[in-house]
Amino acid sequence: MISWEDFSKVDIRIGTIIEVKEFPKANKPAWQLTIDFGDLIGIKKSSAQIVANYTKLDLKGKQILAVVNFPPKQIANFFSECLVLGVTDSTGNIVLAQAESKVENGSRLH
């Protein structure tokens, strides 16, 4: 088990996807996302293996949850600056974690 203090170290914020690009150099099909987390956090990029359930049009303007306090991780020629969160559906593909209603970018999950 982890403690409440351990959980509080994970900074999960909501952001809006503002750009979606193809990522042909990824080992598994993925999108390169540019996400706006508001004034405090700013703009971050992420690679997400969500192409099975989401098109570019589906993603642009969508609010999603992501961990924003991991160090950048290099994936091929791209640096992922946050971890987009989701759950696995019955077919093994990722479904994004989202807020039920629109909230301010940068809002923290509690």
Q: Assess if residue 15 is contained within a domain.
A: yes
DSSP code at position 72: P
Tell me the three state secondary structure of residue 5: helix
- Name the DSSP class of 27: S
Question: Does residue 75 lie in a domain region?
Answer: yes
Cα–Cα distance, 58 to 75 (Å, whole number): 23
We report the CATH number of the domain holding residue 41 as 2.40.50.140
Note the pTM of the prediction, 2 decimals: 0.95
Range of 58's domain?
11-96
Whole-number pLDDT of residue 11: 98
Cβ-contact 58, 48 below 8 angstroms = no
**64: in domain:** yes
54 occurs within a structural domain = yes
Total number of domains in the chain: 1
pLDDT tens, residue by residue, 65-77? 999 999 999 999 9
One-letter amino acid at 23 equals: F
pLDDT of residue 17: 98
* Rounded-to-integer distance, Cα 65 and Cα 83, Å: 9
- At residue 37 the predicted structure's pLDDT band, cuts being 50, 70 and 90, is very high
Q: Among candidates 66, 32, 68, which has minimal Cα distance to 49? A: 32
Q: Is 7 helix (H, G, I), strand (E, B) or coil?
A: helix
How far is Cα 42 from Cα 29, in angstroms, rounded to an integer? 26
